[in-house]
Amino acid sequence: MSSLILSLLAVSVQAASRANDNRINGVDLLSGFNTLWTTGATWDTGTPTALGQSLLRRNLQIVVDRANSRMLAQETAAYFDDRRDQSYSAISGLGSLSDAYKAGAGAFTTITQFDDSN
């Protein structure tokens, strides 16, 4: 039963992201980011806004601090998140429902191990 529910959830999330749909989708979740960041002409020329500068600087410092204090298992997990499709990696946040969601949604990855081939 839970596989069916998770499959339906995956379908409804996908359907909600389609054009002309008034339901909230993933893009809507990021709509306030422009109060923190101004995009540039190219991918690497954006700048923080006055409001975003201290917040983004603090966010980067948190990342540096965590990277410097993480364990090997955490470093490996971070590598997998970076190398895999991040939407696939986010499924692990479902905890004990992860396997059922993967089966129901047909989610997969080609990166299943940590070695020099990845």
Give tens-digit pLDDT for 50-90.
988 998 899 999 999 998 999 998 888 888 777 776 677 78
Q: Which domain holds residue 81?
A: 1-27+50-118
- The Cα-based distances of 91 to 86, 109, 110 in angstroms read 9, 11, 15
Number of compact structural domains in the chain: 1
- From the list 36, 68, 69, the residue with the least C-alpha distance to 54 is 36
Evaluate whether residue 39 is within a structural domain: no
pLDDT of residue 36: 87
112 lies in some domain: yes
The mean per-residue pLDDT over the stretch 34-55 comes to 89
Count of residues making up the chain: 118
Asked if the structure places residue 43 within a domain, the reply is: no
Please report whether residue 86 resides in a domain: yes
